[in-house]
Structure formats: C-alpha cells, structure tokens
A and B are shown apart, each in its own frame.
Chain A
Amino acid sequence: MTSSATMPRPASFGRRLKRFMADRPLIPLIILLLILVVILQILRPGIVNERWIANTAKFAIPLAILAGCQTMTMLTGGIDLSVGTVATMSAFIMATQIVNQDPTVAFVLAMLPAVLIGLVNGIGVGVFRVHPLIMTLGTSLIGTGFLQVYQRTVIASGARIPDFLNWLGTGLTYGFPNALFLFVPVAVLIVFTLNRTGFGRLLYAVGDNERAARLSGVRYWQVITALYVISSLLAGITGLLYIGLIKAPSLSLAEPLVLPSVAAAVIGGTSIFGGRGGYTGTIIGALILTVLTTLLTILHMPEGGRRILFGFIVLFVTAAYLRIVDDR
C-alpha cells in the first residue's frame, strides 16, 4: 500500500531519472502507451489494426476533452467533478429537445445548464472559497436532481439522436473518426489558451502561487469563475459528442468518465496541486487509459479492480511528483 513512499533506486540514476521525468514528461508517457499497445498485440495477435485504432480514438476523444477540463482546473489547484453530470445533462437535453425544436434552439438549451453550473462552481470556488472538490460534487448532485425532474416532463415526447451528432460520434472519413473534426480544434484551442494567452498564463500563475498572482494584481475570483464556466462548456460539448457515440440517452451517461478523466490528467503530468502540466500530456494520458481499459477488459479485470487501479495511479503519481519537487 505504501508503494508510493519508497523507490529503492541508486541515487544518481534515480535523480537523473527524476530530472528527466520532470523535464520531458511526454517521452515516458509515449513509451508507456506503446508498451501497452505491444502487450495488447501479444495477448490478442492481430487486434491492433486500422479499425482498432479508429475505435480507440473514438472512445479516447470524449475522455480527452473531459480530461482537458480537469487539466485546466487542476492547473489552478482545483478539480471539476461536475463534468460528468454536465455532459449528461447537455446530451440528454439535446436528445429530447431535438424532437420538437429547431437544432439551434436545442443546442442553446443544452448548453444553458452547463453555463449555469459552471457559473455556480466558479462563484463557490472563487468567491466563497469552497474546496472545488466539494463544490463541484454538490453542483453535480443538484444537476442530477434537475435532470431527473426534467426527465419526467419529456417522458412522453421521447428522444432522438440528431443525425449530425451520430455522424460526429461514430462516423469515419477516410478511415479517420469524424470526432477528430471536433477534437482537433478543441485541443488546439486548449493548448493555445494555456500557452499563448494571458488567461492561460494566469491559470498557471494562480495554481503555482496564488499569493504571487495576487501581488501582481490578479483577482482570483475572476480567473476562477471564467475557468469553471469554460470547463463546464467543454463538458457540455463533450456530452453532445458522447451521445452520438453511445446513442442511448440515460441519466448516468457520462458519469463513468469522471474518475478516468481525473486519472488521465494526473497521468499526463498535470499536478493536482496546480501550476504544472499541460494538455498534450493529458491527451496521451487519455489514450493510455483507453488502451488500458481495453487491456483490462481482455484480462477480465472487473470494474472494481479498474477503480482500485485508478486510485493507486492517482496516489502514486501525486506522491512521486512531490518527491520530484522536493529533491530539487
């Protein structure tokens, strides 16, 4: 259980490795991903083919976007556990409203709860300073409640998956999943925001040293409120994508993605304490988790075992990260 505490390695090598891990977190991640793919190929020869890759990408993309929400919130030392509920709400509202409404109206209606939940999260965390974990857990509970009430009002009219979302969620173009049409711009936007905009810079600064940011004139609540609204919006969009992929609107549609999204961001090298990390690592983290899930399914690892594994990954990576920082 205390595996995270001790890493018996020769000091000089360990130190070098740590420095290497800290400087280039992507390379070991890519190596890990390749190893997992190789293991998969050995266990089930022939499984790794063009179709498998497209399929893996399709399932990794919603996870990767939600993990993007976690990446951005974790950079400020936060977390957003309401993404599952928000995604589910958007998906469910879209699928039910499209029956009687114009697609644009349905889209706006689907995104409205996302904005609201994000706003409440942001105000709770930024102004009232509730711990983000508690705050987002609370709003997700309320959101689920609203969804249940809403479900009754639309029970008669039924639900339909819009063709466009169908195309986006499962379609292929020249062998590439159409979801990439959504994902590539979103990923580019997130990476650009984090690296090349004032807002992105503030996310890192607030998470690294809130006091320093304050002394530089940054108002915490403004940054945090904007952040949680953006996070919620992304989660809402993910919900639309996900309903196109899963095709069965339910009240717990995206809930199983929440814990993996946290794990993906942590594996991707984003520090849960804030100030460190980036989205490219998270994308690879999401791929790793998707492949790992396939692997565990092949190995008949039950859901419980998977969760235990995710828990240990979060704890181990966080503790290891602390060691890397401490030994500087």
Chain B
Amino acid sequence: MTTNHLLDATGVAKNYGAVAALRNASLSVLPGEVHALMGANGAGKSTLVKILTGAIQADAGRVLIRGEVRDVRSPAAARRAGLLPVYQEPALIPDLDVLSNLRLTGTPVEPFRAWVRELGIPNLDMRETARHIPLAVLRVLDLARALAVEPDVLLLDEMTAALPANLAEKVLEVVRRQGNSGRSVIFISHRFVEISALCDRATVLRDGATVGVVDIEPGIEEKIVEMMLGARIEKTSVAAARTASEAPVVKDSHPRLVVRNLQLGTKLHDVSFDLANGEVAGVVALEGQGQDELFAALAGSIRPAGGTIAVDGAPVKFSHPSDAIRAGIAYVPGDRTEALAMQRSVRENIALPFSAAPRKWGPIKARRERMVVSSAIGRLQIDTRAQGEVQRLSGGNQQKVTIARWIAADARTILCFDPTRGIDVGTKQEIYKLLRELAGLGKSVLFYTSELEEVQRVCDRVIVIFGGRVVDTFPVELANEPTLMRAAYGLPRGAREDVGILADVRPASDAEAAP
C-alpha cells in the first residue's frame, strides 16, 4: 500500500533535551497530490519540515521516498532525493545576484526564467542582488528556483504569507497545476481559504503527533479545528474559569496603557488597545502575526514606526528597555535564555534591575537586597536548592525567576510573552495564580499565550491579532477555545454555520477592536 506513496514518513520523533518536539509524526503524500500540513503553534510542523528537508536529524522514524528508505542527512541530500523546500525566510543569499544564486544551487537557468514568467514576474533582472529585491518577489523566486529542478515533492511553508493578492493567485495556480503533473506538494498554511481551495488532503499534527488525515471537503474546517485542539474542548468547558473571589475588573478613566495606531514595517498595522489597572488582557495570535513586535515595542526593545503609547495618561517614547522600566513596564520574554544570565545565581538574576542605573553601581546593600529577593522567591515558591546557577534550575523555576525579578522591582505593568511555554503543569498553575494575584493588587498584565486554554484561566479579556492587526476583542466569557482558534485564523466570529469553504476572510475592522 505504501509503494505508491511519493513520500511516506512514519513514527518520526525528535527530542531537544528533555522536551519532545515530535513524538510520533507521520505524513504520507500521494503522487499528484497537494497535501496540507496543519497544526496549532508548537504542534511540531516546523520540526517535521526540518527533518524531511535534512536540516536536522530525527531521533526515530523512517522516511520513504518513492518506496525507498532515504536517509536525508543534509539539505543537499534532500535535494538529490527530489525533496525541495521553500521556507518562510527566503533562502536566496542576500549578497549574491539571482544568477549567482542559481549557480550556487546548480539550478538550470532557462526553466527558472520560464517559471518566473509563469509566476507573474515578466521582466526579472537576473543580475540584481537578492538584497535589493522586495521580499514578496524573493519568495516567488525561491519558489521558481525550486520548481526549475522539477522536484518530486515540493514543500511550501506559508508560501503566500508575504505576497500581494495578484502574486498569491499566480502562486496558487502554479501549485495546483504542479499537482496535475503527477508531482506532489506539501502545503503549510494558516489560511483555511487557501487550503480548501487548493489541497486534496490534510494531515493534522497535535503535540508532536499526527492525529488525523482528512480529505478536504466543504465544512471540514470545523473538524480540523477540533482535531488541532483535541480533547481540550471538553476539558476547558468543565474547568472553572476563575474563582469568584477575585476582584472584578475596575474600568477607570485612565487605563494603565493606551496603545493607538501602532505601526511597524510589515509586521504591525494600526494596532490599538487599552490595558486597564488590575487587568489581565490576553493576546492570542498564530505564530508570526506581529505579537513579537508588539511586545518588543511596548518593552522599549524596538522603536515603532508610528502610533502612540501612553502610560497612565502620559504619552511615552521608549528608546531603550530602561525607559520602559522607568515607566513601570517590565517584559518577561517567552524564551527564558533571553532573560536570564544563566551562569549567575538566582539572587543576582532577580536583583539585576536594581544595579542597572549608574548611581546604583556602588556597594550592594546585601541585607536589604536579600530581604527583597527572598520575599519574591517566597512569593513564587521558587525551588532554590540549585540557586548557585540559574541554568541548573528546572525550566519552570527559571521562568519563575524571570517573573520574580519584576515583582522584586515592583513593576506595575508586566508584559508576559508565553510564560508557560515548555514548563510543567504544576508550575503553570502557580503562574496562573500569581498573575491573578498581581491583577488583584492593581497591577496590569498583558499576556500572550500560545495555549488557548490558558486564556480562560487567567485573562479578563482577549485581544486577537492576525496579520499584524487586532481582528477581534472578546470578554473572557465568550472566549472558548474553538471561538479563539477560529478568530486566530482570521475566520469571522459568530457565523460559524454559514462559513462556506471558499468564503473570504473578513477584512479586519479597527472599529470593533476597541474595547
């Protein structure tokens, strides 16, 4: 049965240390098929793609290409095996011209030219340096370069993401025809519209395992959403949202943080929202929808191109994180290695902001510092048995240290970017509880999470971002997982029965975004 599969991967697993990125993934692609690969954030899509294309090696599993076992050990080997990826970030060398890029990969020039014309770029200058070519065109060139060597399996990762409508249309057309010629395409996309228009079947990943393969047919998107969420739908509906003892949100005239029309390159378009005193506002978005840039701008790490930020009614401009910290805004990044000096002690890490300003460079008042730090440690119940070096703590305890730092520094606004990523369930619960407590003390929290079930446990309100825009804002009562998932995919709210398979994505409306 497997013999007629063009590509057949089974039982693929990959561990990073103790974390399993893939547990048991499988993917079978028939000749002439356009096959969608789907999954929520962190489901393992990108790991599977990297394994198939030889960028990393799997710990377990078997990959058959045209029925033969192939050990794909490098991107070059994947090319030889007839498997070509087009990644989200263009793989053209920025400082080489197009022709040199072709020579580097041994791509024949004439077929490339033909494909480029086919894809809607009639007059490409082959001597132009890739750096000076617009991103959208670059992605198309990347695709043309892959098509020119006539690969058996073409792997497209969010191919249409940065493309204007006319180019996207051409690309989709070519991809569809690729299927007709007996070759296959693996198509990774967050856009249901494209998947339903283009794909024959879809493989759905969840938590590093393949949970189902479905034929694409009208109405299938509900089923796919369910598969991506898995058993969690039942779980959340049972789980009590929050205990009633917690104080309700006080809406006052001066919200802690007022963001208006924030702009940043192609990443953020007109993002506006408020964050009230004592509120935990959730941010929900698929990967790469601009949430990273939003948090970085609020934390003072990057300067927005336009728009305003006001703290307690006073407009602010941040040119360095220390400016944001002075305004009482603390940023807890999702990647703990970004926030911690791993070789230093727990105490030093927590007390780090105390020494930041030059006037605090003198002798440390050890007793006072120990008091503040140990009260923060106690509050977060950090296991300090290995406190000599933060890198010896568990992931959960490390994350607690990053939060404890800002509790010790008494920050009034805390930006938490996916703080529970990759940590154990117990610690997650403690962090949820802590965030609620902080809100109870009048602090404000902006909380991005990639795990939708967390929203109901922690947040008062949810802001959904898609394609760099705020597409929807929910009070927490309405924010059940399926609703959020649909919104995160840019699907309209409330009209779930009527959504046809080819219905267009509703244009984002900023008017609705305001609370």
Chain A interface residues toward B at CB < 8 A? 192, 196-199, 201-202, 204-205, 208-209, 211-219, 222, 226, 275-276, 328
Contacts and interface: CB of A to CB of B under 8 A. Distances in A.
A83 to B, nearest CB: 22
B325 A217 contact: yes
A199 to B, nearest CB: 4
B408 to A, nearest CB: 11
Contact of A209 (B341, B355, B360): B341
A212 B339 contact: yes
Given A202-B361, A218-B352, A222-B358, 17 more contacts: A196-B363, A198-B362, A198-B363, A201-B364, A202-B356, A204-B341, A205-B344, A208-B344, A209-B340, A211-B338, A212-B338, A217-B320, A217-B353, A217-B356, A217-B357, A218-B355, A275-B343
6 contacts: A198-B355, A198-B360, A204-B344, A215-B301, A216-B321, A218-B352
Interface in B329-386: 331, 333, 337-344, 348, 351-358, 360-364, 366
Contact of B322 (A196, A201, A219, A276): A219
Contacts of B92: none
A273 to B, nearest CB: 10
B427 interface: no
A68 to B, nearest CB: 18
B107 interface: no
Nearest to A195: B364
A244 B331 CA distance: 53
B247 to A, nearest CB: 30
B189 interface: no
A201 B348 CA distance: 7
Contacts of A328: 391-392
Interface string B221-249: 00000000000000000000000000000
Contacts of A216: 321, 325, 352-353, 356, 405
Contacts of B342: 208-209
Given A215-B331, A217-B356, A208 B322 contact: no
A104 B384 CA distance: 52
B7 interface: no
B296 to A, nearest CB: 10
Interface residues of B, number: 35
A245 B366 CA distance: 40
Nearest to B324: A217
B244 to A, nearest CB: 36
Contacts of A196: 363-364, 366
B341 A205 contact: yes
A226 B391 CA distance: 29
Contacts of B353: 216-217
Contacts of A217: 320-322, 325-326, 353, 356-357
Contact of B299 (A202, A208, A215): A215
Nearest to B337: A209
A316 to B, nearest CB: 21
Contacts of B364: 196-198, 201
A215 B333 CA distance: 9
A196 B322 CA distance: 23
Contacts of A201: 348, 351-352, 355, 364
Contact of B341 (A197, A213, A219): A213
A196 B364 CA distance: 6
A198 B354 CA distance: 8
B341 A212 contact: yes
A209 B353 CA distance: 14
Contacts of B343: 204, 208, 275-276
B337 to A, nearest CB: 7
Question: Can you list the 5 inter-chain pairs with the closest CB atoms, starting with the nearest?
Answer: A198-B355, A217-B322, A208-B341, A199-B361, A217-B356
Nearest to B361: A199
Contact of A214 (B321, B348, B361): B321
Contacts of B337: 209
A196 B360 CA distance: 12
A197 B340 contact: no
Nearest to B354: A198
Contacts of A199: 355, 361-362
Nearest to B358: A222
A193 to B, nearest CB: 9
Q: Which of A196, A208, A215 has the most CB of B within 10 A?
A: A215
Contacts of A198: 354-355, 360-364
A324 to B, nearest CB: 11
B299 A197 contact: no
A212 B364 CA distance: 20
Contacts of A213: 341, 352, 356
A218 B344 contact: no
B352 A205 contact: yes
Nearest to A204: B344
A212 B349 CA distance: 9
Nearest to A206: B341
Contacts of B331: 215
B321 to A, nearest CB: 5
Nearest to A325: B343
Contact of A204 (B338, B348, B357, B366): B348
